[in-house]
Amino acid sequence: MIDLDLIGIGTGNPEHLTLAAIRAMNEADLILLPRKGDAKSDLLDLRRMICGTVLTGSTRIAEFDLPERDADAAYLEAVDDWHREIAGVWAREIEAYLPQGGRLALLVWGDPSLYDSSLRIAERLLAAGVALNVRVVPGITSIQALTAAHGITLNTLAAPVTITTGRRLRREGWPAGSDTLVVMLDAACAFETLPGQDIHIWWGAYLGMPQECLIAGALDEVAGEIVRRRAALRAENGWIMDVYLLRRAAK
């Protein structure tokens, strides 16, 4: 039996780790760290740094190469194939390092239950007959880090919030039923497709990291600045993690 802990580690700041996350990391027999290529080596370095900061016992650390998603295939099909490949890699690493069972930990950015695929990949292993006992250790999400960094509330009084993706925002426009949107996984700045009048944006990149960048203002006034700054940061670092909140003025 493998006890698999999916541990939320926040947005890159070791101080975002909960006491439960630190305990789970130290209880693990093995922590697996994914390598995503040279362009995202900072992400691996951050995971290494977090391990070096909080591990105090005999937990082993191993690294593995994460498969790349096919950027040319249809999105859902490509993601499904990608998850299948990752599940195969996890199974291979488990067999190599924990053939007799034990406790395995994976460090997940933000929280494993919000816009992350670790739980879905674990379900594939279960479906394939791998004996897993899965536990989620929640972490600080990029949404929490964004609202805290800007000093704003997630919702207006007694009002709902919609969490969506840049892909859906670009394809479908502003969803009905909410005046507040949180947009994640937006590599193409879908906010540019919206009429900026009466919309405010709070944007953040590298939240909780030393290179954190924040921009806020009326969408029609700061959209271009965000696009330019995002492109410059991505070119400088080779990768970017960002999220933003949009709010329409009450009518």
Residues 14 and 107 in one domain: yes
pLDDT mean over 64-92: 87
pLDDT in tens, 185-212: 999 999 999 987 799 999 999 998 889 9
Answer yes or no: are the C-beta atoms of 65 and 99 closer than 8 Å: no
Give 68's pLDDT tier (boundaries 50, 70, 90).
confident
CATH number of domain containing 42 = 3.40.1010.10
pLDDT at residue 76, rounded to an integer:
84
Among the candidates 137, 160, 186, a domain finishes at 137
Residues 132 and 146 in one domain: no
Among the candidates 137, 153, 172, a domain finishes at 137
pLDDT mean over 128-141: 92
Residues 16 and 113 in one domain: yes
pLDDT mean over 154-167: 94
Residues 228 and 183 in one domain: yes
| Cα–Cα distance, 226 to 232 (Å, whole number) | 10
Residues 13 and 39 in one domain: yes
pLDDT at residue 219, rounded to an integer:
96
Residues 147 and 133 in one domain: no
Which domain range does residue 178 map to?
Answer: 142-248
| Cα–Cα distance, 105 to 119 (Å, whole number) | 13
- The backbone torsions φ and ψ at residue 203, rounded to the nearest 5 degrees and listed phi first, read -120, 145
Domain count, the chain: 2
Residues 221 and 104 in one domain: no
pLDDT at 41 over 80: no
Among the candidates 105, 137, 169, a domain finishes at 137
Residues 119 and 197 in one domain: no
Q: Which helix (H) or strand (E) holds 53?
A: helix 41-54
Could you tell me whether strands 180-184 and 60-65 are parallel, antiparallel, or unpaired per DSSP bridges?
Answer: unpaired
Give 13's pLDDT tier (boundaries 50, 70, 90).
confident
pLDDT mean over 77-98: 91
CA 5 to each of CA 24, 26, 118, 128, 182: distance values in angstroms, whole numbers, following the listed order: 7, 11, 10, 19, 27
Residues 160 and 132 in one domain: no
CATH number of domain containing 243 = 3.30.950.10
Residues 238 and 204 in one domain: yes
Residues 124 and 17 in one domain: yes
